[in-house]
Amino acid sequence: MEPDHFERKYHLALERMEREEASFRQLEEQLRRVASRLLLLARGRDDALDGLLERVTDAVRRSSAGAGLAPLVDELGDAVARLDGLPRQALAGGAGTQIGPSWPEALRETLLRVVLIPSLAEEAVDIRAQLAATPADDEAAMPVLAEAVANLVNRQRDSLRADIDNLQALLEQVSGRLEEMTHFLEMGMQEQSLELAEGEALDTTVRDEMALLNQTARDATSLAELQEQVSSRLTLIDQHFREYRERQDARAEEFRARSASMQGRLVELETQALRLQESLAREHELALTDPLTAMPNRLAYERHVDEVHRRWQGERQHVCVAAFDIDHFKAINDSYGHAAGDAVLRIVGKALSAHAAGRYFIARYGGEEFAAVFDGLERSEALLVAEDLCRAVAGLGFHASKRPITVTMSGGITCFQMPDTPAAAFERADRALYEAKRAGRNRCVMV
């Protein structure tokens, strides 16, 4: 595998993680602002509580508030508990700002937006169900749910940072291997230069010896003296050649050893790169798969519908999108428990995926809601397919606590039309879904 290809893969993954981390930091800052505004609304109820609220506000606004905030939250809980016995007029603090039903409702809406973020939605199913079941004026429940959402965001952020650290450590290992390869090549170039220099030196030495030998032959006065001088010069030339060959052999052996070592390093690097590529492919697949139903998730839907929409803008082929929702799903959770609700989602998801069977795209959008893209189907055809899906769900046999239960699904369908965006089309399908709910459920509405 080419090192450049691996590094591009790494940097793409790193950039995605950095974007998600920046998103979490922005979300954390928004939560801090919400908390600060809610703390301002609580002023004027009690002098002692006001002082504590000042400290909590200061802790929330500091970037390192996490470590010192927990004991203040405990103190705040105790202070509020002490005020629980006071009448509403006393809690209002006379001329102070009275806490109305608007602030928990605003917090509830903010938390709902947070838990619908694609990277959080799957882990926030229970929190979202609790938010949906909590009355908008329940002032006691909202802070508890807000803390649960904050903990979820922190866990996601910590997991993201751990992934970045792991990738950074792997990049450092790869960089070390690349440095070894660079050093190996540089040494090879240096050895080639040294070998060339030694060859030139040997050539010069032999030429000098031959010149001296010629001079000796001309100056010799007897055959015995000539033989002695020739033998001496030839011995020196032979010695020079032996020393040169010994250096060459030693250098070749060292080069072979280094080459074998580098080959091992390259095999190890390629193995690591392949493992990372497989890991990134698995992570990519997991990021686009709903863990409960094994269907494509909301992120997969958004990527798919964006691609289809881009193609539709150029080709103007028929494309319809649909939103589906399991009827009375909250009642199933309340009556039979979340385990039964999860079983219903798994079975329905399996049935929807089997019905799609590569003919069209369907995903779990979040909670008990599903989304489909009917690429190439006209309005009437898309409506027939959607109604088939609802009939397939209604025909499934469910049992909970050894009792049969009826599960149905409603759907809303619409087709792309100028100047639609994917979000606008889905919003229209979602409105059609709620028309189907109001019309009695277990049916589909086309708009």
Residue 425 domain flag:
yes
- Say how far apart CA 207 and CA 410 lie, in whole Å: 98
Residue 52 domain flag:
no
- Total domain count for the chain? 1
Q: Could you read off the pLDDT of 176-234 as tens digits, one per residue?
A: 666 666 666 666 666 666 677 777 777 777 777 777 767 766 676 667 776 777 777 77
Residue 45 domain flag:
no
**CATH number, residue 312:** 3.30.70.270
Q: Report the b/e string of 220-245 with b at 16+ CB within 10 A.
A: eeeeeebeebeeebeebbeeeeeebe
301, 365 Cβ separation under 8 angstroms: yes
- Say how far apart CA 104 and CA 122 lie, in whole Å: 24
* In the chain, % of residues over pLDDT 70: 57
Q: Could you read off the pLDDT of 351-381 as tens digits, one per residue?
A: 999 999 889 999 999 889 999 999 999 999 9
DSSP assignment of 331-383 equals: HHHHHH-HHHHHHHHHHHHHHHHHHHTTSSEEEEEETTEEEEEEET--HHHHH
Q: Read off the pTM.
A: 0.48
Residue 395 domain flag:
yes
Residue 332 tokens read as: 């199933």
Mean pLDDT in the chain? 75
Residue 434 domain flag:
yes
- Rounded to 5 degrees, φ, ψ at 148 are -65, -40
pLDDT band per the 50, 70, 90 thresholds, residue 87: very low
Q: Any idea what DSSP says for residue 276?
A: H
- Say how far apart CA 292 and CA 370 lie, in whole Å: 13
377, 360 Cβ separation under 8 angstroms: yes
Q: Could you read off the pLDDT of 95-149 as tens digits, one per residue?
A: 333 333 444 555 556 665 555 555 555 556 666 667 667 776 666 676 677 777 7
**Kind and range of the H or E element at 150?**
helix 141-219
Q: Which residue has the higher pLDDT, 43 or 48?
A: 48
Would you tell me how many other CB atoms lie within 10 Å of the CB of residue 187? 13
Q: Could you read off the pLDDT of 294-319 as tens digits, one per residue?
A: 999 998 999 999 999 999 998 888 99
- Say how far apart CA 349 and CA 85 lie, in whole Å: 49
Q: Which domain holds residue 323?
A: 298-446
Residue 264 domain flag:
no
Give the burial class of 293: count Cβ atoms within 10 A of its Cβ; 0-12 exposed, 13-18 middle, 19 or more buried: buried
Q: Report the b/e string of 95-116 with b at 16+ CB within 10 A.
A: eeeebeeebbebbbebbbebbe
- Say how far apart CA 153 and CA 150 lie, in whole Å: 5
Is a pLDDT exceeding 90 seen at residue 65? no
Residue 238 domain flag:
no
Residue 3 domain flag:
no
